[in-house]
């Protein structure tokens, strides 16, 4: 079910006057030989200091060399919004945990005791990271998608769900269709508030849940969570916060933000080991059937039936991802300890990136609430006359830059942002997302590369096949050896 917006759903665009530069794809400026990439691991650089506000944690991929059409360069990672590299401290925690890795909660051997203790200590670390209240549960899952699906299964019968169409598919799709009310892409913060008030007033029910993003995975804009959560509370509704894009960049507190549940993913928090979290109020979770039926979720099994556990164990059946949860806890500790330095690092680079891309003729950048709205370091853009997939391919092949192209698992949001009733504009976009693996040199390299691409097109010739765009003559060795 959809609700009409009080303002046009087309979001703000920021662009210089566009001049179409469609360079012929057969044009090739040069064909140089590829210099070999060393096959040994490069030692990660030490943590970087930012003024007096702390340390920027090091990632294991620092100084990673990648091949381009003309040689090897330091990899410029602008794909943090999809997945982040591991922190050095996270890898160290994993290496330590692997020595005593064993079963949890079911063994009296020393290794099992140690592993069980670390698993529950990881839960306590995550509890602190999300600012959980007394009585809140912290349930470990696989990722944010898994967490939202768990919560959807745990909702009381006939719960009405309210979700903006700006949401990532993980937060948009798990809910029962006939009880879900979709709110269109708002034109401003005030519009978002008006839409939510109207929807809550129109659709009553004993149980209602509002789904909110902390930060948009498309534009990086920080949503007015406190203001929207207050509207929901006044109407007697609960709120679940999608913090997948928010938690890596800003402090999270269930109580301070005024939300009932929070969802996040380790692979976006510099702990890419397959763990996620659903944290929040226990009553709906304890009243629901277990998410998975199996060992660990059971208190007793008899011929007459099953008595299920309460608390987090109720939804964590089977042998859990111990290594993933320890990695997640290590990442949460590092981010919480060095939050000020991380925010300063990302703000400096993000501001320069937005400023640089917005100044390029033929490039458009996009926003939901307007170009001056607060955001994390994410910029979504298009290059006039060039397919977004070609842009990302050229940036990688010619400049060693990693970005994301497409609709970013937020199709309704991207469609609204790119919609232009007066022109046959692009249907997909490019997203550049800054993180701890990004440096000032990477930002300048990306700005220079997009400037050149918008003005002159690709340097080399590219062809489009079943796998997408690729250089017509590619000297890079794509048959990379397996790591095992």
* Residue 6's pLDDT band (cuts 50, 70, 90): very low
Q: Tell me the two tokens of residue 146.
A: 């898994």
The string of pLDDT tens digits covering residues 411-448 is 999 999 998 766 678 999 999 999 999 999 999 999 99
Please check whether residues 277 and 143 belong to one and the same domain. Answer: yes
Find the CATH number of the domain harbouring 408.
Answer: 3.90.1150.10
Please check whether residues 129 and 214 belong to one and the same domain. Answer: yes
The catalytically annotated residue of 122, 163, 409, 453 is: 409
With 60 as the cut, is the pLDDT of residue 311 above it? yes
Please check whether residues 343 and 216 belong to one and the same domain. Answer: no
pLDDT at 437: 97
pLDDT at 107: 84
Identify whether 478 is part of a domain: no
* Residue 55's pLDDT band (cuts 50, 70, 90): confident
Average pLDDT score over residue span 152-178: 97
pLDDT at 424: 77
Find the CATH number of the domain harbouring 238.
Answer: 3.40.640.10
Residue 432 contacts residue 450 (beta carbons within 8 Å): no
Domain boundary among 337, 357, 385: 337
Please check whether residues 349 and 455 belong to one and the same domain. Answer: yes
- Convert 245-280 to b/e letters by CB count within 10 Å (16 or more is b): bbbbbbbbebeebbbbbbbbbbbbbbbbbbbbbbbb
Identify whether 1 is part of a domain: no
Is 332 in the active site? Answer: no
With 80 as the cut, is the pLDDT of residue 295 above it? yes
* Residue 481's pLDDT band (cuts 50, 70, 90): confident
Identify whether 479 is part of a domain: no
Average pLDDT score over residue span 210-221: 98
pLDDT at 479: 80
Identify whether 38 is part of a domain: yes
Domain boundary among 315, 337, 359: 337
Average pLDDT score over residue span 253-261: 97
Distance CA 201, CA 461 (A): 57
pLDDT at 10: 39
Please check whether residues 113 and 258 belong to one and the same domain. Answer: yes
Please check whether residues 205 and 333 belong to one and the same domain. Answer: yes
Structural domain of 147? 89-337
pLDDT at 287: 97
Identify whether 57 is part of a domain: yes
pLDDT at 370: 92
* Residue 190's pLDDT band (cuts 50, 70, 90): very high
With 50 as the cut, is the pLDDT of residue 313 above it? yes
Please check whether residues 345 and 464 belong to one and the same domain. Answer: yes
* Residue 22's pLDDT band (cuts 50, 70, 90): very low
Lowest mean pLDDT among 48-52, 72-76, 284-288, 342-346: 48-52
Average pLDDT score over residue span 26-52: 37
pLDDT at 377: 96
Of 367, 365, 373, the residue nearest 450 (C-alpha): 365
pLDDT at 422: 65
Q: Is the pTM of this model over 0.95?
A: no
Average pLDDT score over residue span 170-189: 97
With 60 as the cut, is the pLDDT of residue 2 above it? no
Average pLDDT score over residue span 176-190: 96
pLDDT at 23: 35
| Average pLDDT of every residue of the chain | 90
pLDDT at 8: 42
Average pLDDT score over residue span 81-90: 98
pLDDT at 420: 77
Identify whether 480 is part of a domain: no
What total number of domains does the chain contain?
A: 2
Please check whether residues 358 and 332 belong to one and the same domain. Answer: no
Distance CA 319, CA 103 (A): 7
With 50 as the cut, is the pLDDT of residue 19 above it? no
Average pLDDT score over residue span 321-325: 97
Please check whether residues 333 and 346 belong to one and the same domain. Answer: no
CA angle 447, 369, 261 (to 5 degrees): 105
- Sequence length of the chain is 484
Q: Tell me the two tokens of residue 330.
A: 């290590």
Please check whether residues 330 and 346 belong to one and the same domain. Answer: no
* Residue 401's pLDDT band (cuts 50, 70, 90): very high
Identify whether 7 is part of a domain: no
The string of pLDDT tens digits covering residues 99-138 is 999 999 878 999 999 999 999 999 999 999 999 999 999 9
Please check whether residues 180 and 238 belong to one and the same domain. Answer: yes
The string of pLDDT tens digits covering residues 355-394 is 999 999 999 999 999 999 999 999 999 999 999 999 999 9
With 80 as the cut, is the pLDDT of residue 307 above it? yes
Residue 242 contacts residue 144 (beta carbons within 8 Å): yes
With 80 as the cut, is the pLDDT of residue 303 above it? yes
Domain boundary among 304, 337, 370: 337
Identify whether 420 is part of a domain: yes
With 80 as the cut, is the pLDDT of residue 405 above it? yes
Please check whether residues 39 and 51 belong to one and the same domain. Answer: yes
């Amino acid at each position: 079910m959809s609700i009409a917006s009080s303002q046009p759903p087309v979001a703000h665009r920021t662009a210089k006057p566009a001049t179409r530069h469609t360079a012929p794809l057969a044009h090739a400026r040069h064909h140089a030989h590829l210099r070999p990439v060393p096959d040994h691991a490069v030692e990660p650089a030490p943590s970087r200091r930012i003024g007096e506000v702390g340390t920027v944690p090091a990632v294991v991929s620092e100084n990673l060399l990648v091949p381009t059409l003309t040689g090897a360069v330091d990899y410029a990672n602008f794909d943090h919004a999809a997945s982040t590299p591991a922190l050095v401290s996270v890898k160290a925690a994993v290496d330590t945990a692997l020595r005593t890795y064993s079963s949890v909660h079911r063994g009296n051997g020393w290794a099992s005791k140690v592993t069980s203790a670390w698993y529950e200590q990881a839960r306590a670390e995550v509890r602190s990271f999300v600012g959980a209240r007394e009585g809140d549960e912290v349930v470990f899952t696989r990722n944010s998608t898994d967490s939202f699906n768990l919560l959807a299964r745990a909702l009381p019968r006939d719960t009405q769900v309210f979700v903006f169409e700006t949401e990532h598919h993980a937060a948009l799709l798990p809910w029962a269709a006939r009880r879900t009310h979709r709110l269109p892409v708002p034109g401003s913060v005030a519009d978002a508030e008006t839409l939510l008030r109207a929807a809550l007033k129109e659709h009553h029910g004993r149980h209602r849940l509002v789904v909110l993003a902390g930060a948009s995975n498309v534009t990086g804009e920080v949503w007015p969570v406190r203001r929207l959560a207050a509207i929901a509370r006044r109407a007697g509704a609960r709120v679940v916060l999608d913090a997948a894009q928010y938690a890596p960049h800003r402090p999270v507190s269930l109580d301070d933000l005024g939300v009932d549940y929070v969802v996040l993913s380790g692979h976006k928090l510099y702990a890419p080991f397959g763990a996620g979290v659903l944290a929040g109020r226990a009553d709906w979770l304890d009243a629901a059937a277990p998410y998975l039926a199996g060992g660990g979720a059971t208190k007793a099994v008899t011929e007459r039936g099953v008595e299920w556990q309460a608390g987090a164990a109720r939804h964590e059946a089977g042998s859990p991802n111990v290594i993933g949860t320890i990695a997640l806890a290590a990442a949460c500790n590092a981010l919480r300890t060095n939050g000020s330095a991380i925010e300063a690092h990302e703000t400096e680079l993000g501001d320069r990136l937005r400023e640089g891309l917005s100044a390029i003729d033929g490039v458009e950048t996009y926003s939901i609430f307007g170009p001056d709205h607060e955001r994390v370091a994410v910029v979504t853009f298009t290059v006039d006359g060039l397919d977004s997939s070609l842009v990302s391919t050229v940036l990688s092949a010619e400049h060693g830059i990693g970005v994301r192209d497409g609709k970013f698992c937020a199709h309704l949001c991207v469609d609204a942002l790119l919609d232009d009733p007066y022109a046959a504009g692009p249907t997909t976009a490019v997203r550049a997302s800054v993180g701890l693996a990004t440096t000032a040199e990477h930002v300048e390299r990306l700005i220079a590369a997009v400037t050149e691409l918008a003005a002159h097109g690709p340097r080399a010739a590219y062809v489009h096949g079943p796998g997408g765009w690729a250089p017509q003559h590619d000297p890079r060795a794509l048959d990379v050896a397996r790591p095992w």
